[in-house]
Amino acid sequence: MLKPEILDPQGQAVQRALPRLGFAGIADVRQGKRFELEVEGPVDDAALARIHEMAETFLANTVIEDFVVKVES
């Protein structure tokens, strides 16, 4: 996701369009991207550390983006 201080024109465009489409009550919209990784073997602390490092050095532009690593079944 873009950091809160970074302008998000796509999110703003979606926010402006929602009332015209009949969707009220949304105060803000931020757009982002998502990567889904399938891990070989167990998802232990070492695997999560490698994935976090991968996200920080390769998948996310940490100058303007924040990221979260989560595990889903």
pLDDT digit string, tens, across residues 16-60 = 999 999 999 999 999 999 999 999 999 999 999 999 999 999 999
Report the pLDDT value the prediction gives residue 32, as an integer from 0 to 100: 94
Assess whether pLDDT exceeds 90 at residue 73: no
Q: How far apart are CA 52 and CA 67, in angstroms?
A: 9
State the DSSP code for 2: B
Contact of 13 with 24, CB cutoff 8 Å: no
Does the pTM exceed 0.95?
Answer: no
Report the pLDDT value the prediction gives residue 70, as an integer from 0 to 100: 94
